[in-house]
Chains A and B, each alone.
Chain A
Amino acid sequence: MTIVSTNQLIVRRADIRILAAGDLEIAAGECVGLCGGNGSGKTTLLRVLAGLEPVSPGMVTVNCPAGDITLVHQHPWLFHGGVLSNIEYGLAARRVDRVTRRRIARKWLERLGGSQLAERQVEGLSGGERRRVALARALAIEPTLLLLDEPLAEIDDTGIQLIREVVEGLDNTTILITSPVDFPAGFVERTIQLTTPPTISAAG
């Protein structure tokens, strides 16, 4: 089953093309890497799929409910408060009860190697720690389509290994990951190369 397909996808901002992805097809359950240099539109593509960037009708088809799609920003924002309450945010929005929420939050934090952060407040976490918490927060809602914007930056090798294991365990989730550099071998099933759109064509 195809979960994401694009048709002549072009995104402009202030008349400048910031993404020219053309026609893409992504099957359900795939783990796809998006590569490309700065300005090639990797982040924009993720934002389009997350519904955060308006596009012309027909350019993008996503075959899952909007509530099952989540995006982790390149520099994730953690809400004021504790690490666990952050991870529970999406579960609370889905009215999962308190005890279950806490159990799920601890499970994901542990899987990402962050058990020791459970009782911490988000202020004072390091960059890598914040990423793990944000990733746990996204995984906790068990998304159908998970969009990760450069999740591997600032993460140490052990962390990358843990994230790889977690990602490999998500059979029912389609994952799109961006990276400005090549992925570690075997990290993604295939990569899509985006290229910076030519700036000239005003007619296109």
Chain B
Amino acid sequence: MDFLVEGLREAVRLIANGDHQIIDATLRTLSISLSAVVLAVLIGLPIATGLARRRFVGQRLLLVLFRAALGVPTVFLGLLCYGMLARRGPLGPLDLLYTPTAIVIGETLLALPIVVALTHGALATLDPRIPETARTLGAGPIRRLLTYLSEARTGLILAILTAFTRCSTELGIAMMVGGNIKDRTRTLSTATALETGKGEFAVGLAMGGLLLLLATGMTLLVAVLGKEDRRDA
């Protein structure tokens, strides 16, 4: 029991003193996962909208593939990215392995199916009167798209939050293509795993605690800021 209490006390002290390693890993985790989510949203929203609102050959198959991709393990994505980015891999010349960019690429692949599958779900179940009303009032394609996203906002916010929590807490990709290099690619999840493994329990506890705070805190922040959900609930 002393071990736990001692570790917790040390962890609190590290966080309170603003230990630069910990601050550094927190900011890096935040910037990497936010970049990945922004990229996944930019790529995923048009795909989700196309899947929900248009009819084309292979549509169902594509949707099933994106849904199946929700289950791809992060270590597999790490493996895939490693294979692509390693010096002898097809993208080796870019020299991206063990950089934050490599983690962003991997986590974008992790977030994309989440954004596509969940946003598609929200858009596909929109009331048919929404597109009809927008059309008969003369809205063009861009205004219609913005209207759909606004009407599907609850599902859209859920998709983005899910993607963010998945990216910020994942370990496999950050470990395999980031490599937990101090001051370069160390994130909260890799630090939690590796510092604990090295016997630095207090550091691991501090990192893990901050990770927990970051992942759950974002959801709470959105709940506080999002006024409309109070009425919808």
Contact = CB atoms under 8 A, between A and B. Distances in A.
Interface of A: 50-52, 67, 69-71, 73, 75-77, 79-81, 89-90, 92-94, 123-124, 137-138, 141
Nearest to B126: A77
Contacts of B137: 70, 89-90, 93, 137-138, 141
Contact of A80 (B129, B135, B139, B151): B151
A69 B136 CA distance: 7
10 contacts: A50-B136, A70-B138, A76-B133, A79-B147, A80-B150, A90-B139, A94-B138, A123-B228, A138-B137, A141-B137
A90 B130 CA distance: 13
Interface size class of B (residues with CB under 8 A): 10 to 19
A123 B147 CA distance: 16
B143 A92 contact: yes
A67 to B, nearest CB: 5
Nearest to A50: B136
Interface in B55-77: none
B90 interface: no
Contacts of B138: 67, 70, 90, 93-94, 141
Interface string B101-135: 00000000000000000000000000101101111
Contacts of A51: 135-136
Given A73-B132, A79-B147, A93 B140 contact: yes
Contacts of A70: 136-138
Given A52-B132, A67-B138, A77-B133, A93 B151 contact: no
Contact of B136 (A52, A81, A92): A52
A146 B151 CA distance: 25
B136 A79 contact: no
A80 B153 contact: yes
B109 to A, nearest CB: 32
B231 interface: yes
A67, A80, A124 — most chain B CB neighbours (10 Å): A80
B32 to A, nearest CB: 33
A123 B133 contact: no
A77 B130 contact: yes
Contacts of B134: 89
Contacts of B132: 50, 52, 71, 73
Nearest to B139: A93
Contacts of A79: 130, 133, 147, 150-151
Given A52-B136, A93-B138, 20 more contacts: A50-B136, A52-B132, A52-B135, A67-B138, A69-B136, A70-B136, A70-B137, A71-B136, A73-B132, A73-B133, A77-B127, A77-B133, A79-B150, A89-B134, A89-B137, A90-B139, A93-B143, A123-B228, A137-B137, A141-B138
A111 B228 CA distance: 29
B147 A73 contact: no
Nearest to B130: A77
A92 B136 CA distance: 13
A81 B132 CA distance: 18
Contacts of B139: 89-90, 93
A123 B231 contact: yes
Nearest to B232: A123
A90 B139 CA distance: 7
A73 B129 contact: yes
Contacts of A80: 150-151, 153, 228
A130 B123 CA distance: 23
A79 B132 CA distance: 12
B130, B133, B140, B151 — most chain A CB neighbours (10 Å): B133
